[in-house]
A and B are shown apart, each in its own frame.
Chain A
């Protein structure tokens, strides 16, 4: 039963891939399409991987979407005022880090429930993005070409070109994996997730670690916001909004695959892939876009349901 619970989502993922490969023999399992998918998913992958860091502690961060929007707006606003690309990127990342740290302080020092605290900051960051941009989309000549070219570029490996967005996402995922799985910091976060009280009594600096974890999630959201802004060559105060729910869904999907039902970066990545492959495959199969949304939601529910039913039967 434990095995079924753990492997149900993975089997589902393999079935989805098999199904699309069968239905779309000429276009689905091609290097080009797979690279497309990896590029399309890159922003979600970054948000989901860094979201995993707080979800390990049973916390979560609802503000990542508006933080992604805000970071794009911050960078673009600096570009408008003729600051360099690096100044724009640096400022956006700093805003992400500080915003995340602020979430951490609210949750960890002040002691507000993450749902409430980050719901509040969701609105604050979104409002800040609107304020800074005057509600406008910053686009066209205001966005330096080299900034938007980043998302169009890639590294040629033989006959294929690996997109820069994919490489960026891969790097972020690796860093998150390394932090969570290979460092004491990560192990302590898992301990906090297991039992916060016990961790505290065992001498783990719970308050500080939670703050840091939220700061990293904020930083990740800012990275994703910059990737998004580069991809659409513009910054709009609402453009990151869709990332939050998908990221949480991906982590939940991933959690169904791990032994203790705790979030793991690699499983989160599979969750992200499930969502992205469904989107790509169903578009190619010309499934109505609203039906697609319903199906994606149902699949998330189905995966988590299979997992919790088999857990209850254990």
Chain B
């Protein structure tokens, strides 16, 4: 026990050197997500250019712990806090930060009056692009399987837009609106769900497309379709986020045809600009800052 504490002490002394630099705590329950990782790396890169001292804290899915870590960072008197978690759920911590006069910036978090600003991609626009892509590819007619995740607000809004787009085509029928179990990352369970749907719809051509609110279910659906030997039925799959695995699949020119690349690194850099603005006492008017996105297809996937 004692030696353990001693070794912790030594490692801490080494790590807690940088004095006087601005300190920024970055707090998220979702660091395991590749997008979150890229955004935070983008933030860290921009912050190191500015000479800030950044501490990244992952609470591994625990929202209440995110509040606790915000409170701890306030106690520690950091100069700014960046959060990647729904602000409505951590408003207890945000209120304490406001009372302590510490600015909090949202990094792909959600809009909230207690934030200086939230930096994100336009989820409505991304979902509109992929759902319209599908509607056009299947020529406005056919059955579509949707993979959604309404528990996470930034993904939930994507589903809402896709619902509206598909609902606007009288000959498009939403066959199923699936919420996969994401505890294993989302691919495996999406695959299993898609296998069941394929089994229930054995007629070739009976499924026109799979619209996924993010890439993992799209990859799972692709595996299911290929596993069932139904890759030549022309089932169109789209995802959102364009993660490396999705880009690979899209580049191969199979059923997975399109995804949307969010520029997470740019998001992190933009969040660093907002933080820098608060340090310089600049007025921040826009409460949400959108970072541009790009559609990824077989033409530009690599």
* Interface residues in chain A, defined as those with a beta carbon under 8 Å from any beta carbon in chain B: 8, 11-12, 15-16, 19, 23-24, 27, 30, 32-33, 36, 39-40, 43, 133-137, 139-140, 148, 151-152, 228, 231-234, 236-239, 241-242, 279-280, 283-291, 293, 295, 298-299, 302-303, 306
Which of A12, A283, A295 has its CB near the most chain B CB atoms (within 10 A)?
A283
**Chain B residues with CB below 8 A from A303, complex form:** 1
- Give complex CA distance A151, B95 in Å: 12
- Give complex CA distance A238, B152 in Å: 12
**Chain B residues with CB below 8 A from A234, complex form:** 63, 86, 88-89
Asked whether B151 lies within 8 Å of A279 as measured between CB atoms, the reply is no
- Give complex CA distance A279, B72 in Å: 9
10 A-B pairs with C-beta separation under 8 A:
A23-B12, A33-B75, A137-B89, A148-B92, A232-B90, A233-B89, A242-B65, A285-B12, A287-B11, A306-B1
B50-58, B214-222, B250-258, B293-301 - the one binding chain A: B50-58
**Chain A residues with CB below 8 A from B77, complex form:** 27
**Chain B residues with CB below 8 A from A236, complex form:** 63, 89, 151
- Give complex CA distance A74, B163 in Å: 27
How near does chain A come to B135, taking the closest CB pair, in angstroms?
A: 25
How near does chain A come to B280, taking the closest CB pair, in angstroms?
A: 25
**Number of interface residues, chain B, beta carbon within 8 A:** 45
The answer to whether residues A289 and B151 also contact, given A36-B71, A238-B61, A306-B1 and a CB cut-off of 8 A, is no
Q: Which of B31, B58, B91, B179 contacts A233, CB < 8 Å?
A: B91
Closest 6 CB pairs of A and B: A40-B68, A283-B72, A135-B179, A286-B55, A232-B89, A136-B150
B69 at the binding interface (Cβ < 8 Å): yes
Asked whether A15 lies within 8 Å of B5 as measured between CB atoms, the reply is yes
Q: Which chain A residue has the least Cβ–Cβ distance from B180? A: A135
B188 at the binding interface (Cβ < 8 Å): no
Which of A140, A284, A306 has its CB near the most chain B CB atoms (within 10 A)?
A284
Q: Which chain B residue has the least Cβ–Cβ distance from A279? A: B68
B153 at the binding interface (Cβ < 8 Å): yes
The answer to whether residues A285 and B151 also contact, given A151-B92, A231-B67, A242-B62 and a CB cut-off of 8 A, is no
**Chain A residues with CB below 8 A from B71, complex form:** 36, 39-40
Asked whether A19 lies within 8 Å of B90 as measured between CB atoms, the reply is no
Q: Which of A134, A233, A283, A293 contacts B92, CB < 8 Å?
A: A233
Which of B55, B56, B60, B90 has its CB near the most chain A CB atoms (within 10 A)?
B55
**Chain A residues with CB below 8 A from B4, complex form:** 295, 298-299, 302
**Chain B residues with CB below 8 A from A15, complex form:** 1-2, 5
**Chain A residues with CB below 8 A from B90, complex form:** 232
How near does chain B come to A191, taking the closest CB pair, in angstroms?
A: 33
Asked whether B67 lies within 8 Å of A136 as measured between CB atoms, the reply is no
Which of B89, B95, B149, B150 has its CB near the most chain A CB atoms (within 10 A)?
B89
How near does chain A come to B126, taking the closest CB pair, in angstroms?
A: 20
**Chain A residues with CB below 8 A from B150, complex form:** 134-136
- Give complex CA distance A238, B89 in Å: 14
- Give complex CA distance A293, B57 in Å: 11
Asked whether A152 lies within 8 Å of B1 as measured between CB atoms, the reply is no
